Chains A and B, each alone.
Chain A
Amino acid sequence: MRTTAWIASLALLAGAPGAAHAHLVNSGLGPFYNGTLHLLLSPSDCLAVLAVGLLAGQGGKASARAAAITLPLAWGGAVLAGLTLERAAEPGWLEVALLILLGVSVAAGVRLPAWVLAPVAVLIGIVHGLETAGALVDSDGALVAVAGIATAVAVLTLLTGALAVSLQAAWTRVALQVGGSWIAAVEMLMLGWILQGIS
């Protein structure tokens, strides 16, 4: 019962950024930090980076390296593309479905080689980057903010991937898989809400 409550709370948080951060967060420290903070305060984006990092780290060093390079580049590129097209994607079932897939893969202990993981990271980056672009429309210093977002994605992916790679003890691997199952559970709840038109 307590676990269900936690998952529901996390799902609420994960669903919040779409509405709460329709505009770029103002850190009072300029557009670079605005971009960084925007990512860190968007639970759905953080979950996406976490999921990719954990899955990549589970696949080994080469996969983690591939994710640390491709995810921020795709994310940043998609934000720029979204700004250029002046069209931002709404958070939807595709974003949630992809995260469920990633969470389940982490929970199942799937080990993806780098050549498979890289396109997955690119896809996640594009989907979330296009959504992020919506917050940057009409923002001052949007290009610097994109750099802040991409830097935050790179740092988080790198740290998460390295953490997952360095987990050697059996119980830590299990903990990692449990983390994946939580991501999947949160996103399943989100998907249910989206399908019922609640979110």
Chain B
Amino acid sequence: MKSASRPLVLWLACALLLIGLGPAPALAHESQPGLLELRQLTAGSSEQTWEVLWRAPIYYGQPHPARLQLPAAWQPVAEPTLQRLLSSELHRQLVRIGPETLDGSSIGFPGLEQTITDVFVRVTRLDGTESSQLVRPTKPQATLRGERPWSQSAVEYLALGFHHILLGIDHLLFVLGLLVIVRGVRALVQTITAFTVAHSITLALATLGYASIPAPPLNAAIALSILFLGPEIVRVWRGQTSFTIRHPWVVAFGFGLLHGFGFASGLSTVGMPRAEIPLALLMFNVGVELGQLAFVGLILLLHRALRVLEFRWPRWAELGPAYLIGTLGAYWTLQRTVMML
């Protein structure tokens, strides 16, 4: 982007910072989905036994505010157990329900509406049939309905990917930094394509279970990618050059591989029907790309608008974005490194 657009980045970075003000402490974890697994254990003529596993992610360092509300007709077999894990709390309960009463049952998640957490609900029956659905904070309840059309699941995974990128302030800041560095339409297309290809590769590898990186060092490395771009943006403003400025697509590809592992945290395949994994992966990735394209499109539109209106900015304001991105990158790198210790 050329000089007139630079102060725009300050505005956008400020807006993104506002989005992230709340999540600042742990940032990368808060958009992790919750998971409710229902596994059928026995099938009797008068009643069935089901295992209920409710994995509630830690939310801003605290137990998740959403509760699990099972139908009143479901009878608890024993006292529920609670296991505290590093990034979630695992609630386990056995229940007895009448035959053929599962479908149509409604499970509530009171408190979910105050959060940004999506919940996967997965049902596994003794006959081998599996089904899954996604619950969003906008409608915090799931009505169990056996098999559903694939198109419904596809739309849910697409929306999940779209939401995941919108909440990923670190991913968006990285893309923003790249947009400031690139010069010309060709370089822009190359860079965004390289980032897309790279994060698609690692998102697929991580989702299919072929590769993984522990979350703490991964999040620190993603923060480092943002810190890396700060000095490069300052170089652009000073009219200097560097390998990154000459070949931004290489950096976009390299760090894009890391960001892909980060995207994978938003798509839990635990307990997902195997046949559904390719569809989930594809549509989640399409959702991420659509969100990314919408973000890039908005920035380019604003860039154009600011040029048309000939906004003039003081020098300090022009340098603001570089220092803001660099400072945020440094802060998150330090914070996430300390969290690993």
List residues of chain A with CB under 8 Å of any chain B CB. 26-33, 61, 64-65, 68, 140-141, 144, 147-148, 151, 154-155, 158-159, 161-163, 165-166
Are A28 and B309 CB-contacts (below 8 A) given A147-B18, A159-B301, A162-B304? no
Those of B135-172 within 8 Å (CB) of chain A: 136-138, 163, 166-167
Q: Nearest Cβ in chain A — how far from B42, in angstroms?
A: 36
Cα-based distance from A13 to B167 in the complex (angstroms): 30
Among B11, B114, B138, B309, contact of A161 (Cβ-Cβ < 8 Å)? B309
Asked if B211 CB lies within 8 Å of chain A CBs, one says: no
**A61 x B309 contact (CB < 8 A):** yes
Say whether A28 contacts B311, CB under 8 Å. Answer: no
- A-B contacts besides A65-B309, A148-B18, 9 pairs, CB < 8 Å: A26-B138, A27-B138, A30-B116, A32-B18, A33-B19, A61-B309, A159-B305, A162-B305, A162-B308
Identity of the chain B residue whose Cβ is nearest the Cβ of A162 in the assembled complex? B305
In the bound complex, CA of A68 to CA of B18 (Å): 19
Q: Distance (Å) between the CB of A168 and the closest chain B CB?
A: 11
Closest residue on chain A to residue B18 by CB atoms: A147
A30's partner among B19, B306, B308 (CB-CB below 8 A) is: B19
Main secondary structure of the interface of B (DSSP, over half): helix
Known: A29-B116, A30-B167. A158 touches B19 (CB 8 A): no
Q: Are A65 and B311 in contact (CB under 8 A)?
A: yes
Closest Cβ of chain A to B14, distance in Å, is 9
Taking a contact as CB atoms under 8 Å apart, the answer to whether A30 and B22 are in contact is yes
**Cα-based distance from A165 to B305 in the complex (angstroms):** 9
Asked if B127 is an interface residue, CB under 8 A from chain A, the answer is no
A141 to B137, CA, bound (A): 16
Decide: B18 and A144 in contact? CB cutoff 8 A: yes
What's the least CB distance linking B159 to chain A, in Å? Answer: 9
CA distance A15 to B163 in the complex (A): 30
Is B293 an interface residue, CB under 8 A from the partner? no
Q: Are A158 and B116 in contact (CB under 8 A)?
A: no
B residues engaging A (CB < 8 A)?
Answer: 11, 15, 18-19, 21-22, 113-114, 116, 118, 136-138, 163, 166-167, 298, 301-302, 304-306, 308-311
- Name which residue of chain A comes closest to B310, CB basis: A61
Q: How far is the CB of A33 from chain B (nearest CB, A)?
A: 7
In the assembled complex, the Cα of A158 lies from the Cα of B136 at a distance in Å of 32
CB-CB < 8 A to B311: which residues of A?
65
Query: Do A155 and B298 have beta carbons less than 8 Å apart?
Result: yes
Q: Is A161 in contact with B166, judged by CB distance below 8 angstroms?
A: no
Q: Is the Cβ of B306 less than 8 Å from the Cβ of A33?
A: no
Pick from B11, B18, B138, B310 the residue with the most CB of A within 10 Å. B18
Q: Assess the A162–B309 pair: CB atoms within 8 A.
A: yes
Which residues on B sit within 8 Å (CB–CB) of A158? 302, 305-306, 309
- Min Cβ gap B114→A in Å is 6
Once the chains are docked, how many angstroms separate the CA of A166 from the CA of B304? 10
A32: B residues at CB distance < 8 A? 15, 18-19
Interface centre among A28, A65, A147 (most CB of B within 10 A): A28
A43–B9 Cα gap in the complex (Å)?
A: 28
Task: Chain A residues near B305: list those with CB within 8 A.
Answer: 158-159, 161-163
A to B CB contacts below 8 Å, 16 in the list: A28-B118, A28-B136, A30-B19, A61-B308, A61-B309, A65-B310, A144-B18, A144-B21, A144-B22, A147-B18, A158-B305, A158-B306, A158-B309, A159-B302, A162-B305, A162-B308
Instruction: Tell me the smallest distance from the CB of A13 to a CB of chain B, in Å.
Output: 21
User: What distance in Å separates the Cβ of A71 from its nearest Cβ neighbour in chain B?
Assistant: 14
CA distance A33 to B291 in the complex (A): 14
Complex CA gap A114/B51 in Å reads 67
Residue among B22, B136, B308 with max Cβ neighbours from chain A (10 Å): B308
CB < 8 Å: which of B116, B138, B163, B309 contacts A68? Answer: B309
Which A-chain residue is minimally distant from B16 (CB atoms)? A32
Q: Which residues of chain A are near B310, meaning CB under 8 Å?
A: 61, 65
Closest chain A residue to B162 by CB distance? A29
Residues on the A chain within 8 Å of B114, using CB: 140
Cβ–Cβ < 8 Å partners of A64 in chain B: 309
Give the CA-CA distance A159 to B304 in the complex, in Å: 9
Residue numbers in A under 8 Å from B22 (CB-CB): 30-31, 141, 144
| In-complex Cβ contact of A28 among B18, B19, B116, B304 (8 A) | B116
